[in-house]
Structure 1
Amino acid sequence: MFSVQVTHRVQGAVLALRGELDFDSMVQLQEAGDRELARGRDAGVVVADCARLTFCDSSGIGALLRLWQGLAAQGRPLRLVTVPGSLARLFSLTGLDQVFPGYAGVEQALAVDTGEGAIEGAGLNGPAQSSERQSS
């Protein structure tokens, strides 16, 4: 089972992803992403908290990429937080770690100021990413 809980903060939105993000559940992420995109370019950063994400297949990765593309068109970043080790490894192998900046925690991801409209490319292997993170 998959769920997305959205919390709005001054800096932007936090999407808490829980469960298995796959072909059957990606529509929930797409709907949450569409609502966030409708808030417009001044709505701030979007942080996807992956701490409770137990599985993500190619459909889920595709949904994350579509959200990233939509946000990038608005000049808004998508930042991933506490990415499970197996997904971080997949991102590294495919080069997606250059697309999805990874951060150790929600507060850190919300606090990063990259300037107006900037989309940073820190990647999942930056200082915030722990190489000892194990998948659940």
Structure 2
Amino acid sequence: MKQKLEEAAYDYATNKTKFRKEVLKEVDSDNYVSRKSDCMEDFQCGAEWHAKQSPWIRVEDKDGCDTSDDCVVMTKNFEIFKAYFSSKNQWMKSNGGYYDEVIDDVICWMPIPSFDEILEANRDVLERIKEKGD
């Protein structure tokens, strides 16, 4: 079962501050609670940053799209296809608008981004182009 971010942060902070307090003797009792809280916050910020680094979702983490929308999938051979996750829990490859081929070796997938999402992700590039006057 996957652990929620808040639970993972709590466990990490508890173990980290307990080790620092009891083994390394770095944390005094008065400072312990605030150090634990800071540690939890740092863990959550790091996890959120990491989640934003790649749009790909590993099949081990979540097998299939939330909706019947098309997705982009990558296979073990690094082939990329437009596909959707069927109600039969199978990835179906798009073939000219028809979905008639099961893909068994999908390792990761991502939703097809909307135009607005692509625009937002490239906002810094667009700003630099605008500044240069290109």
TM-score (norm 2): 0.22
User: Between Structure 1 and Structure 2, which shows a larger proportion of helix residues?
Assistant: 2
Q: Larger radius of gyration, structure 1 or 2?
A: 2
- Higher RCO (C-alpha 8 Å, min separation 6): 1
